[in-house]
Amino acid sequence: MATRSVYDTELKKIDHSVYIMGTEVENAIDKMIFAFRNKSDALAADIMKNDDRIDKMETEIEEDCINIVVKESPIASDWRKIASYMRMTSDMERIADNCSDIAIYIRKISDYKEEIEEPKGLDEMFGIMRGMVRDTFESFQQGDVVLASSVIDEDDVVDQYFEKMNKEIGELMKQHSEHIQQYIDFILINKYIERMADHSANIASWVKFVVRGELDLKFTDRYAKESQKK
């Protein structure tokens, strides 16, 4: 006989809220990429306006998680889920914040008096990061650890792009020194995309924890590895 039906309903409600928050985050990214490609000031402003909604979702999920911990003391896979949701939603909220951060620069770029030569690889980098986020949420919905692992691996590709883009923007700065101020905006956008990919990989590692109960330690040692480089 099935027991704990109230508890199960509450857990499902949280599952659903995380799913909806994921959809909202994906929408924000799509809007942001569209706004970047079209230099749409209005759409960029809309992304920033909508950020509050996503913040609120995170807070509500966090409250629901805390309540269920206090009331039901979840253990085993239930606990892995709740503990992970609290971390995942924080990364999701940061991705949404990064959309708004980029939106600020899209608005600045749309105000440029004259057109400048844009860094070419940025659009491609947007595409890879977008794919990572899509796969992350797909892996979450399907409990697909193989897909989650591939997202984590793909973060290295974005990191390489980030370095490549910095060089490309640096070259453009040299060639068009009169637009250095504008290119700084692109450098910041480049950094935000790289951060979004990091958050996406973080979420993917939590998906693996929910499904398998194993913590992917790749992210805990990334700065240690970075410190070895010269």
Chain residues in the site for other proteins (CB under 8 A): 1-4, 7, 73-80, 212-214
Least distance from other proteins to the Cβ atom of residue 76, Å: 5
Residue showing tokens 């986020």: 133
Q: Indicate the residue among 9 and 177 with the shorter CB distance to other proteins.
A: 9
Nearer to other proteins, 73 or 228 (CB): 73
Q: How far apart are CA 184 and CA 204, in angstroms?
A: 31
Q: Which one, 11 or 172, has the nearer CB to other proteins?
A: 11
Cβ distance 81 to 7 under 8 Å?
A: no
Q: How far is the CB of 75 from other proteins (least distance, A)?
A: 5
Q: Which is nearer to other proteins, 81 or 94 (CB)?
A: 81
Helix (H) or strand (E) holding 69: helix 41-72
Query: What distances in angstroms separate CA 118 from CA 31, 58, 165, 224, one per listed residue?
Result: 20, 35, 11, 34
Q: How far is the CB of 14 from other proteins (least distance, A)?
A: 15
CB 161: neighbour CB atoms within 10 A? 22
- In the complex, what is the shortest distance from the CB of residue 64 to other proteins, in angstroms, rounded to a whole number? 18
